[in-house]
């Protein structure tokens, strides 16, 4: 449609276009010199395609979100500076053409368009990280970035609400207090870039922000978050330890004895990794009878077992290095040792390390410089599958 020479002519053209759009579900207002979207467009029922490309549009009204049946929106060639968040209401949208616009960012609401298949942003001056996402992974990567930003904005609002309504209630009613809360929220957002961590902070806001507002800070929040996380993990592992001990002495001790045994064992383990080691090796370190369970004794048994397993593994690594030294006798011992340990670091089980040593001639290449640790381990796993070894 050519640009109209007069407002009267445009009205005539517009009426014709609207009538056709009502009948077909397609509205073509491209290259008509529009500086704003005619409000009548938003009254077209079941509009599926809207072409506004090649006009003078700088903004879209929020009413664009009313077009819930819209499947295609063509906006190329407009001097658009921004898009409204209401765009997220276009749940049926499949095609969004934003070529050659002046957009520097895409609203996060775009990430909530469940059916979007085509997002064309050629010829735009997008923010650097938007451009990088688009170049590296295409529209899907950009939508992922927008989704993460949208999530962060939502979490920031939830954090502010938690601080105002649950923690610093009295301060929130003062002008200075409200500003201080917002400033604290900004710093906490920067301190917790991982959204899962931030959700934990919000859920436990009363415990994490225990200081008065004037002394509250993001670093202290991080310290309390770490302490809370360790405490939570320790309680979870304690519950697992109780289940393991109950299974070990099933039918041979009453509940109270087993609960005391679990409490004793967990209390004697100084770190979370120590508890996890116990869980992995409980049957090797627990005494025969539940009544004989003593936390300190079990902890000592864990230390002894850990040392024995470490010694066995170091012995297996030394065996691998010796086998490699024999195969690559022309190489410097230190060089062979580094390579052997690099391969061993990728093999979790000591038994598998011994298997690797036994098959050095098969699993390692003839040329030392061709050794690829990851490739060697993949070959080991393939060989073990052939032998039925887990």
The DSSP line for 143-165 is HHHHHHHHHHHHHHHHHHHHIII
Same domain, 194 and 274: no
pLDDT the model gives residue 317 = 97
Query: pTM above the 0.85 mark?
Result: no
Do 321 and 213 belong to one domain? no
In a shared domain, residues 320 and 377 = yes
User: What is the residue-wise DSSP string for 315-364?
Assistant: HHHHHHHHHHHHHTTTS-HHHHHHHHHHHHTT---HHHHHHHHHTHHHHS
Provide the pLDDT for residue 8. Answer: 40
Going by their DSSP bridges, the two strands 118-120 and 95-97 should be labelled as: parallel
Query: In which domain, by residue range, is 248 found?
Result: 233-293
Q: Within this chain, do residues 223 and 330 fall inside the same structural domain, yes or no?
A: no
Q: Is 288 part of a structural domain of the chain?
A: yes
Residue 301 counted as domain residue:
no
Question: For 146-201, how does the pLDDT look when each residue is reduced to its tens digit (9 = 90+)?
Answer: 788 888 989 999 999 999 999 999 999 998 999 999 999 999 999 999 999 999 99
Q: What is the pLDDT of residue 143?
A: 77
Whether residue 144 is contained in a domain is answered as no
323 in the same domain as 379:
yes
Is 84 inside any structural domain? yes
Q: Where are the beta strands (DSSP E) in the chain?
A: 26-28, 49-51, 72-74, 95-97, 118-120
pLDDT in the model for residue 390: 67
- Residue 5: the pLDDT is 38
Looking at the fold, whether 109 and 35 belong to one and the same domain comes out as: yes
Are residues 119 and 13 part of one domain?
Answer: yes
Q: Are 253 and 324 contained in the same domain? A: no
Question: Do 280 and 381 share a domain, yes or no?
Answer: no
The residue out of 209, 228, 247 marking a domain boundary is 228
Domain match, 345 and 373 both: yes
In a domain, 134, yes or no: no
Domain closes at, from 176, 204, 228: 228
If the chain, 390 residues long, is cut into consecutive pieces of 10 residues, what is the mean pLDDT of each piece?
Answer: 42 86 93 93 92 95 94 95 90 92 82 83 76 72 80 93 95 92 95 93 95 93 94 92 92 88 92 94 94 94 96 97 96 96 95 95 94 95 84
Domain's final residue, options 204, 228, 252: 228
Residues 175 and 64 in one domain: no
Overall number of domains in the chain: 4
Answer yes or no: is 16 within a domain: yes
Q: For the domain that residue 11 is a member of, what is the CATH number?
A: 3.80.10.10
142 found inside a domain? no
- What angle, rounded to 10 degrees, do the helices at 350-358 and 333-344 form? 130
Is 206 among the domain residues?
yes
Sign, CA torsion 121/123/128/134: positive
Same-domain status, 110 and 14: yes
């Amino acid at each position: 449609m050519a640009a109209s020479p007069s407002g009267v002519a445009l009205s005539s053209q517009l009426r014709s276009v609207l009538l056709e759009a009502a009948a077909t579900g397609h509205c073509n207002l491209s290259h008509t010199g529009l500086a704003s979207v005619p409000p009548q467009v938003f009254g077209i029922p079941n509009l599926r395609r809207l072409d506004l490309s090649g006009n003078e549009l700088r903004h879209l009204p929020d009413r664009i979100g009313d077009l819930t049946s819209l499947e295609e929106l063509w906006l190329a060639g407009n001097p658009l500076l921004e898009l409204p968040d209401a765009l997220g209401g276009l749940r049926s949208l499949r095609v969004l053409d934003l070529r050659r616009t002046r957009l520097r960012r895409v609203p996060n609401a775009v990430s909530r368009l469940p059916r979007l298949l085509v997002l064309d942003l050629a010829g735009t001056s997008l923010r650097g990280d938007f451009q990088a996402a688009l170049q590296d992974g295409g529209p899907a990567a950009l939508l992922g970035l927008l989704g993460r930003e949208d999530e962060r904005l939502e979490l920031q609002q939830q954090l502010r609400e938690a601080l105002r309504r649950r923690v610093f209630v009295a301060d929130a009613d003062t002008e200075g207090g409200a500003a201080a809360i917002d400033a604290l929220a900004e710093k906490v957002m920067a301190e917790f870039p991982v959204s899962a961590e931030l959700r934990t902070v919000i859920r436990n806001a009363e415990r994490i922000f225990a200081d008065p507002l004037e002394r509250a800070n993001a670093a202290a929040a991080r310290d309390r978050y770490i302490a809370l996380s360790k405490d939570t993990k320790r309680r979870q592992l304690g519950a697992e330890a109780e289940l393991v001990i109950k299974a070990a002495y099933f039918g041979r001790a009453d509940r109270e004895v087993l609960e005391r045994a679990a409490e004793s064992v967990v209390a004697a383990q100084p770190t979370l990794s120590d508890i996890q080691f116990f869980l992995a090796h409980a049957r090797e370190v627990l005494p025969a009878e539940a009544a004989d369970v003593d936390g300190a004794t079990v902890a000592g048994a864990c230390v002894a077992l850990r040392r024995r397993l470490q010694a066995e593994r170091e012995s297996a690594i030394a065996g691998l290095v010796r086998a490699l030294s024999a195969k690559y006798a022309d190489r410097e011992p230190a060089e062979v040792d580094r390579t052997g340990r690099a391969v061993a670091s990728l093999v979790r089980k000591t038994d598998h390390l011994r298997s690797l040593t036994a098959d050095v001639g098969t699993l390692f290449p003839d040329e030392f410089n061709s050794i690829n640790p990851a490739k060697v381990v993949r070959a080991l796993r393939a060989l073990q599958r052939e032998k039925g070894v887990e």
